[in-house]
Structure 1
Amino acid sequence: MTARVTVHRDYTISRIDDRIYSGFLEHLGRAIYSGIYEPGHPTADAQGFRGDVAELVRALQMPFIRYPGGNFVSSYNWEDGIGPRESRPTRLDLAWHTSESNAVGIHEFMDWCELVGTKPMLALNLGSRGLDEARNFVEYVNGPTGAYWGDLRKKNGRAEPWNCQLWCLGNEMDGPWQIGQKTAVEYGRVAGEVAKALRAFDKKLELVVCGSSKPDMPTYPEWERITLEHTYDTVDYLSLHMYSQNKAKNTAEYLALSSKLDTYIATIQSVINVVKANKRSKREVAICFDEWNVWYHSHEQDRSILEGMQGWPHAPRLLEDIYNFEDVLQVGLTLNTFIRRADVVKIACIAQIVNVIAPIMTEPGGPAWRQTTYWPFLLTSLYGRGTALQLAVDSPSYETEMAGEVPYLDVAGVLDQGEKVVTFFAVNRHPSKTLSVDLSLQGFGTTARVIDHQVIAHPDLHVVNSVERPNEVVPRPGQGAVVEDGIARVDLPPHSWQMLRVSV
């Protein structure tokens, strides 16, 4: 099979916001305890943070990490995680039916962010709590000394404010599973008032309001419209969530889910534009896709904990999806979609980072290793920064029940002006045929040459990386990619992910 792609230097979509390569860390399962934090581990530092995990997270170069949830935040009292550890209460978490020791709170999380070279994106509890608790938390984190909350922060060991600029106004407030679920009108009113109060404290804060928790919600997309009617003038981003799953074991349909994701983004972009027009506003509200990933492998094994059959365990093994090679393709397709929608998607957070539906796994007291999905995220984060290019793609396609006609070739292109490099990220969805691709490079001059070519492929879709075999699925140097007469030529093996970098 053959496919053709045309790219021109001057035909661009948008500058890619580096924050689309952000992450998410929730007090859920082993994400915190025996994930990032394990005092006594052979690699732990003086604060108890695992050095092996910090090294793997640091390599991903995540600009921001969302914290502390997630569903967890909707019944979380942030005050429980400050002050001397011996005085912190243990609480029962209603979201995941577990107990929370609060050994890690806002101070520890901020220290960990500094350790791994990222910034915080903090979520406020608008489920069981409201405006006062939200503004107090913001003032504790960002306020000056000389006033109550700043002085309390100083008493707890931190005189200087952290100046966290990115704040989420609740989490998935449309969901019946959420503590403190609200209607769109109820939530819009609360979020609007909280946003107004936070603007009175600091006009430069960036605020994220909740959109639909998934595109299958019965209230979607009316929820977004109503919420934005109440908040458009005071917020900067609308939050969206979507998880991909292949319960039916149908790879062709599974790999078409990125078309559903693209439609989701396009629909909400239209809703934003309608509200903007109705309000005669000049403000720009963008999309913050702050939860996305593959999530379905662990559903059955999680059931007994989530239904309360094991009491209230502390940091149990929950949502520990073990990802296979097929999931590499799905993660690559999702990242390609965000690149192509760079004009409206400005923040995206893979959910999550360690142990809980995560690219990194650990064993208590033992090693940490990279799951299969670590690799497409790593390479796209490192080399997918710059300007998203418009691509004209001519590819053979196949018919799907969910998304209609879907091309076998999925490709995104990024121009790094400083390095003068065009990077292509490509997935071949075909199960058995190699796809020969011609990429016509127009407007780039005549000296183009291939400088890097990485391939992730495996004959077994269900193969995984494990503590015993951590490198079963890894990127390997590609072969045969060339540039001739302004055309880059590369072969994509069946069911493969590739990165091709061309110096221009």
Structure 2
Amino acid sequence: MTVARLTLDPSFVVGPVDRRLFGSFVEHMGRCVYTGIFEPGHPRADADGLRTDVLDLVRELGVTTVRYPGGNFVSAYRWEDGVGPVGDRPRRLDLAWRSIESNAFGLNEFMRWAALAGVEPMMAVNLGTRGAAEAAELVEYCNLADGTAAADLRRKHGVARPHDIRLWCLGNEMDGPWQIGSRTAEEYGRLAAQAGHAMKRVDPSIELVACGSSDADMPTFAAWEATVLEQAYDQVDYLSLHTYYDPERGDEASFRASAVHLDGYVDDVLATADHVRARLRRTKRIRLALDEWNVWYKSRLVEPEDRGIEDTPALIEDDFTVTDAMVVGNLLISMLRHADRLTVGCQAQLVNIIAPIRTAPGGPAWRQTIFHPFAQTARLARGTVLRPALTAPLMTTGRFGDVPAVDAVATLDGRTLTVFAVNRGTEPIPLHLDLRAFGGHRPGEHLVLANDDPHLSNTAEHPERVTLGSSRSTTEVLLAPVSWHALSFTLEERQ
């Protein structure tokens, strides 16, 4: 066996860990909202119909930010449909997923849920079928105290204090032909600039996320980003990235190395944004929001036009494996590696829809395998991300060629050092941690997610089949095949 070596030094820093990196996504799609986070009549529902068993798992997951209400859903959404007395709200055909939207759960219900979950809302505005005026009015409804029509309407709806939402998405995937109201880069860039200008006139303190490409395989990738930013650079603070990784697309080794793609994707978008900054002679640097990412068995998707119209269809409720969990842990390592500019992340989605949390209507909620690396990274990755020096044996992939079989990153929070590592190969690999730059250290906890069967999943019948193992951390560790690890150390004070 060839040894992997990871050398760390507190002088080599990427940047601070932004807590918004550990966000998630709630869309009015399938069973994410209805029978997911909201199910009146469920044995664990509170007086507002919110599932408290799901809330408990959301808190355990450590989610910090939640994007709402879409996703494709937002591109034809009328936010006014989801406020006011529930009995007066219209039932609508959602054009994105061809399902019936009852509007029993809307903006103010979401904000009540977000407060209970302890998460920051990330609100999306409809720039598919609507425009700058409606977007500015929604900011007014949410963020102004009183004295205007929209703010007073919120107060009439029983919400006296403003929601004070800081983070806003200017539409969703506007380059996608599947999107209701998709646009060219020139059209969207102009609209994003107009909407952003109007929204910041209502509340200058908000932060705005412009739509980047829907994924790096779009034919307009990079040209889209450049054109949008050339028109909206002064109005926006973030540019979005979306990416999903399909275990059934291509060879398995390439899937296990999905983080190699994410590394390149982030680097390419940053290069494009910085090129525009130089062309426009601006000093502000655009940050990135990876506000949709996950493993997704996308090849199994039944397209909306191929389904009948349903009330609450069970859409893309994938069962995740040990391998999928390792990949999710590796994607989080990649995100931390770019923490100086990638400061918002939203795993899509939170409940049922390719999610870390699954529920049964009227029944239990349980943790999928991917729950564990997310929850522990969100809990342990604090302080500052360190830039490691890593050497590792190579593995061969069909898509990326030869890549390191081991990937890792580390964070330093006061005297707590945490190393996150994966073995994405199919053989065990010894990992040596060189921590001499820190002086003395004491071992902490070593968490590991691995299994002899990398295709094992958790189910409603067997919700604890895949869980975390725990032992004492050490600087000499054997990484099992297809495994995720978090090793913590307490640094001793220098004399």
TM-score by length of 2: 0.97
The letter for the 2-side match of 1:491 is L
Shift of 1:89: 0.3
Shift of 1:496: 1.0
Post-superposition Cα deviations, 1:191-235, rounded to whole Å, max 9, x if no partner, equal 001111112122211000000010000000110000000111111
Q: Which residues of 2 match residues 260-409 of structure 1 at below 5 A?
A: 260-296=261-297, 299-300=299-300, 302-303=301-302, 306-310=304-308, 312-409=309-406
CA contact (8 A) 1:396 1:408 kept: yes
Shift of 1:159: 1.4
User: Residue in 1 aligned with 2:128?
Assistant: 127
CA contact (8 A) 1:409 1:428 kept: yes
| 2: CA distance, partners of 1:494 / 1:151 | 59
CA contact (8 A) 2:253 2:396 kept: no
CA contact (8 A) 1:61 1:117 kept: no
CA contact (8 A) 2:143 2:203 kept: no
| 2: CA distance, partners of 1:80 / 1:248 | 39
Choose the corresponding residue for 2:458, options 454, 461, 465. 465
User: Residue in 1 aligned with 2:44?
Assistant: 43
CA contact (8 A) 1:256 1:402 kept: no
User: Residue in 2 aligned with 1:66?
Assistant: 67
CA contact (8 A) 1:97 1:308 kept: no
SS in 1 for 2:438: coil
Q: Which residues of 2 match residues 67-146 of structure 1 at below 5 A?
A: 67-146=68-147
User: Residue in 2 aligned with 1:485?
Assistant: none
User: Residue in 1 aligned with 2:21?
Assistant: 20
Identity, in percent, stands at 46
What runs of 5+ residues in structure 1 fail to find an aligned partner? 483-487
SS in 2 for 1:347: strand
| 1: CA distance, partners of 2:332 / 2:216 | 18
User: Residue in 2 aligned with 1:445?
Assistant: 439
CA contact (8 A) 2:133 2:198 kept: no
| 2: CA distance, partners of 1:249 / 1:497 | 22
The letter for the 2-side match of 1:319 is I
Is 1:454 paired with 2:447?
yes
Q: RMSD across aligned C-alpha pairs, in angstroms?
A: 1.2
| 2: CA distance, partners of 1:2 / 1:54 | 42
What runs of 5+ residues in structure 2 fail to find an aligned partner? none
Post-superposition Cα deviations, 1:13-58, rounded to whole Å, max 9, x if no partner, equal 1111111101100000000000000011001000000010000001
Shift of 1:281: 0.6
SS in 1 for 2:105: coil
Is 1:427 paired with 2:400?
no
Shift of 1:249: 6.7
| 1: CA distance, partners of 2:454 / 2:252 | 9
Post-superposition Cα deviations, 1:81-110, rounded to whole Å, max 9, x if no partner, equal 011111100010111111100000001000
| 2: CA distance, partners of 1:466 / 1:63 | 26
| 1: CA distance, partners of 2:292 / 2:50 | 24
Is 1:474 paired with 2:467?
yes
Q: Which residues of 2 match residues 474-493 of structure 1 at below 5 A?
A: 474-478=467-471, 481-482=473-474, 488-493=475-480
SS in 1 for 2:290: strand
Post-superposition Cα deviations, 1:320-355, rounded to whole Å, max 9, x if no partner, equal 111111101110110000000111101000000000
SS in 2 for 1:69: coil
CA contact (8 A) 1:389 1:413 kept: yes
Query: After alignment, is 59-68 or 211-220 more displaced?
Result: 59-68
| 2: CA distance, partners of 1:202 / 1:146 | 14
CA contact (8 A) 1:10 1:443 kept: no
User: Residue in 2 aligned with 1:252?
Assistant: 253
| 1: CA distance, partners of 2:452 / 2:288 | 37
The letter for the 1-side match of 2:361 is P
The letter for the 1-side match of 2:406 is L
Is 1:502 paired with 2:495?
no
| 1: CA distance, partners of 2:311 / 2:246 | 27
| 2: CA distance, partners of 1:125 / 1:377 | 29
Q: Which residues of 2 match residues 200-211 of structure 1 at below 5 A?
A: 200-211=201-212
| 1: CA distance, partners of 2:32 / 2:52 | 15
The letter for the 2-side match of 1:292 is W
Post-superposition Cα deviations, 1:425-477, rounded to whole Å, max 9, x if no partner, equal 1111221x22111111143122x021110111111121110011111111011
User: Residue in 2 aligned with 1:185?
Assistant: 186
Shift of 1:280: 1.0
Is 1:221 paired with 2:218?
no
Query: After alignment, is 2-11 or 248-257 more displaced?
Result: 248-257
Equivalent pairs, count: 490
The letter for the 2-side match of 1:208 is V
TM-score by length of 1: 0.95
User: Residue in 2 aligned with 1:240?
Assistant: 241
SS in 2 for 1:140: helix
Shift of 1:405: 2.0
CA contact (8 A) 1:9 1:442 kept: no
The letter for the 2-side match of 1:127 is G
User: Residue in 2 aligned with 1:148?
Assistant: 149
SS in 1 for 2:239: strand
| 2: CA distance, partners of 1:248 / 1:123 | 30
| 1: CA distance, partners of 2:450 / 2:61 | 21
The letter for the 1-side match of 2:180 is I
The letter for the 1-side match of 2:374 is F
| 1: CA distance, partners of 2:132 / 2:411 | 41
| 1: CA distance, partners of 2:259 / 2:445 | 26
Shift of 1:306: 1.8
Post-superposition Cα deviations, 1:386-421, rounded to whole Å, max 9, x if no partner, equal 21101000111123231122101111111112xx11
SS in 1 for 2:13: strand
Query: After alignment, is 193-202 or 40-49 more displaced?
Result: 193-202
The letter for the 2-side match of 1:403 is F
CA contact (8 A) 1:397 1:408 kept: yes
| 2: CA distance, partners of 1:228 / 1:189 | 10
